[in-house]
């Protein structure tokens, strides 16, 4: 079974997907983490082409491994999580993820994971539209740009990164435009996806709303956890 959770940056999709996966004893895959790992590889390349990025990623043994119910990227045999949230990677990830050849490489690996016998909760931007269009349940998570900027600003502030909330909002709006209008797999809600607006929801409320949508979609009476 595959549950696809899509949405723009800082909408709460990854936190919601992780909570849903834990509640359902499923495996969580944040597709954005894989793109961020590829971006970490790409940032020092003189020429950022899909072929060049894939060549270096494969030379460094970029792969997904399950760790504590999460499928996470490993580089050079080590967990690459510490590389993924740097300002440099964040600024470049939308550009790198738009490379069509690179997306093919990523999609192949996500689809391979989706063929597992275990339930998989995948979050991203085109899971329900492109990668797993036949997913059992699709949810599109959104929030206003202002609320998403506030969340991301607080994350960066906690990480000790000096940036204003206005700068974060401007960056989010630019990224939204790129993601919505890119030629390869633009960000959009699948026609059969359930909309979940988290603007006024904390993580617990977003989780409960997502579980209710999944229960309704699967014809169950309700989550009893």
Give the CATH number of the domain where residue 108 resides. Answer: 3.40.50.300
Query: What integer pLDDT is reported at residue 28 of this predicted model?
Result: 97
Query: What integer pLDDT is reported at residue 225 of this predicted model?
Result: 43
Query: What integer pLDDT is reported at residue 115 of this predicted model?
Result: 92
CA distance 142 to 6: 9
The token duo for 151 is 């969340």
* 8 Å CB contact between 16 and 206: yes
Domain assignment present for residue 219? The answer is: no
Domain assignment present for residue 220? The answer is: no
Cα–Cα distances in Å, from 106 out to 3, 6, 124, 147, 154? 18, 16, 12, 29, 30
Query: What integer pLDDT is reported at residue 82 of this predicted model?
Result: 83
Average pLDDT of each block of 10 consecutive residues along the chain (225 residues)? 95 95 96 93 91 95 94 94 83 83 91 93 95 96 97 89 93 90 86 96 95 87 42
Count of the separate structural domains present in the chain:
1
Domain assignment present for residue 24? The answer is: yes
Domain assignment present for residue 174? The answer is: yes
CA distance 168 to 154: 10
Domain assignment present for residue 149? The answer is: yes
Domain assignment present for residue 225? The answer is: no
Full residue range of the structural domain in which residue 66 is found: 2-212
Domain assignment present for residue 190? The answer is: yes
Domain assignment present for residue 65? The answer is: yes
Query: What integer pLDDT is reported at residue 220 of this predicted model?
Result: 55
* 8 Å CB contact between 104 and 159: no
């Amino acid at each position: 079974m595959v549950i696809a959770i899509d949405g723009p940056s800082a909408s709460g999709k990854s936190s919601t997907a992780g909570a849903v996966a834990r509640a359902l004893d499923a495996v969580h895959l944040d597709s954005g983490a894989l793109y961020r790992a590829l971006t970490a590889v790409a940032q020092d390349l003189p020429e950022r082409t899909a072929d060049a990025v894939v060549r270096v990623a494969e030379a460094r043994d970029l792969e997904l491994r399950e760790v504590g119910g999460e499928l996470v990227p490993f580089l050079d045999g080590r967990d690459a999580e510490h590389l993924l949230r740097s300002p440099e990677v964040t600024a470049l990830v939308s550009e790198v993820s738009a490379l069509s050849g690179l997306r093919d490489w990523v999609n192949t690996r996500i689809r391979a994971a989706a063929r597992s016998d275990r339930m998989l909760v995948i979050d991203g931007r085109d899971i329900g539209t492109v990668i797993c269009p036949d997913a059992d349940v699709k949810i599109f998570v959104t929030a206003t740009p202002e609320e998403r900027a506030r969340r991301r600003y607080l994350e960066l502030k906690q990480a000790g990164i000096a940036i204003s909330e206005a700068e974060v909002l401007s960056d989010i709006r630019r990224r939204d435009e790129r993601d919505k209008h890119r030629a390869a797999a633009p960000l959009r809600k699948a026609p059969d996806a359930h909309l979940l607006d988290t603007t006024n929801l904390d993580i617990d409320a977003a989780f409960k709303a997502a579980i209710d949508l999944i229960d309704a979609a699967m014809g169950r009476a309700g989550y009893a956890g």
